[in-house]
Amino acid sequence: MTSQGTLMRRLLVVVLLVAAVGAGAMALRQPSAASVRPARATLGSPLWSARRVPSAVLDAAGSQRLTQELVDQTQGIRACVQVADADGRVAALDPDAARTPASTMKLLTAAAALQRLGPDFRFVTRVGAPGDPDRGRVEQLSLSGAGDPLLATPERIAALAADPVTAGLATTPLATLADRVVASGGVREVANGIVVEDRYFDAERVRPQWTAGGQAAIGPVGALTVNDGFAGAAGTGGRASDPAINAGEELRRLLIARGVTVNGPIRRSTGGSAAVELARVESPPLREIVTEMLSASDNLTAEMLLKRLGRDAETPGTTDRGIAALRSTLTDLGIDLTGASIVDGSGLSPTDALSCTTLTQVLELAQNDLRLEPIRTGLAIAGERGTLATHLVGTPLAGNLTAKTGTLSGVSGLAGYVTGDRPLWFSLLLNGSFGESTALQLREAIATAIASYPNLPVGVAIAPDPSAPIPPRACPTPQSAC
């Protein structure tokens, strides 16, 4: 909440308390004969009933309660928490303190990508040849990537659909590209193999700041990547040593399954682009890619989006240039990056640092800016979708909590929206020495407390429905006061 809003709320509380005292004093005075009035209907609830406590008073009490609960829940933990609604800040605990964010970092990557590229942006993967097919034969195929993070084989797509974390999320079918190659001039034979080209990005596959565990959680980053950079038909093998070569091998397998003879090896291109484009496949629009990244917490998607932000017409995309573009874009949007340390787009690095103020500002923008709306609509949903699909099932938060989760060793984060008494957006980052199960229980308990705001006493309503007037009572005598 703004300082002006806080002052106004405090003044209102004081005025109401003074008025309450005055009303109580008047009620103690016995009416004189001159003060007797004819009987008339009265309101169903007394003027100073708890049901008529103004929302400002209840909100102030609720904020105090929630703040104390945040303090109690986070004892012994380096934490930051911020909760806000349309009127401003509701409650906070060290909101400007920089903490390790884990995957909540992806909210910043999403905001920068949507702002710079636009929600309708699509990646394009192409297959070319030195010339047009001659009676179904081409000399060579060239597979060129431009950073699509969702390229996947049919086996991988089936596995994703069967996993509750990734079910229903977008993919780019590599099989569609194979079908279009076959349909282009009736290609039936490739004489000299497939060359792969991924110069759209630089050759850095991992960030030096990632731990061994972090590197194991993501495939190698490259502009031409299939199945998240993991080997095997369904991407269930180890990390591919070369993501572009792996993509070429999967395309060859799909072409052979369609009756195409592919002679020769899969190798890297050493020259320019192919002279003739035979086929292309476009990714889903960026809004759906952002949903996939946020809902399933896809690390590779985040890193590829960041490299795409660092790409220009003259130079390959790099992570460092992507970070510079991200910072510039978010600053222009009015996001406060004070104290932020950003070394990747996924939050895999333990050296990343963000404040809850920064995260909450991104969420507020997504609440009000149509260009950033895919952030709000693309988050995991408690009990239904993404990383929260199997969590909080059967609780009041199921279907009512949408958030980006974040987990690293000693780090737990949650940032998103709850619908309770009113819409709220919040962020919480917990850093300390705790196990994953403890972290999950703690952040879910805090989310429950936030959703219950303002946690009014039984029988108290912020905006009570109007009661029917009570009919006037008959006075026993004309001189009686009713």
Q: What is the DSSP letter of 448?
A: H
Whether 468 has a pLDDT exceeding 50, the answer reads no
Whether 390 has a pLDDT exceeding 90, the answer reads yes
At 59, the pLDDT band (50, 70, 90 cuts) reads confident
At 430, the pLDDT band (50, 70, 90 cuts) reads very high
Rounded Cα–Cα distance for residues 352 and 101 (Å): 7
Q: What is the pLDDT of residue 466?
A: 46
Q: Are strands 124-129 and 276-282 parallel, antiparallel or unpaired?
A: antiparallel
Tell me the domains of the chain and their CATH numbers. 3-16+58-107+321-451 (3.40.710.10), 122-284 (3.50.80.20)
Q: Are 383 and 400 in contact (CB under 8 A)?
A: no
Q: What is the pLDDT of residue 44?
A: 42
The structure's pTM equals 0.84
pLDDT per residue over 4-14, tens digit each? 444 444 444 44
At 53, the pLDDT band (50, 70, 90 cuts) reads low
At 58, the pLDDT band (50, 70, 90 cuts) reads confident
Q: What is the pLDDT of residue 275?
A: 86
pLDDT per residue over 329-375, tens digit each? 999 999 999 999 999 999 999 999 999 999 999 999 999 999 999 99
Structure tokens belonging to residue 382:
């408690």
Q: Which of 195, 192, 188, 177 is nearest to 137 (CA)?
A: 188
Mean pLDDT computed over every residue of the chain: 86
pLDDT per residue over 257-278, tens digit each? 999 999 999 999 887 767 899 9
Mean pLDDT of 307-328: 96
CB-hemisphere CA count at 13 Å for 71? 7
Mean pLDDT of 106-132: 97
At 320, the pLDDT band (50, 70, 90 cuts) reads very high
Look at residue 304 and give its three-state secondary structure: helix
At 79, the pLDDT band (50, 70, 90 cuts) reads very high
Look at residue 57 and give its three-state secondary structure: helix
Q: What is the DSSP letter of 393?
A: T
Whether 218 has a pLDDT exceeding 50, the answer reads yes
Q: What is the pLDDT of residue 456?
A: 61
In the chain, pLDDT over 70 holds for what percent of residues?
A: 83
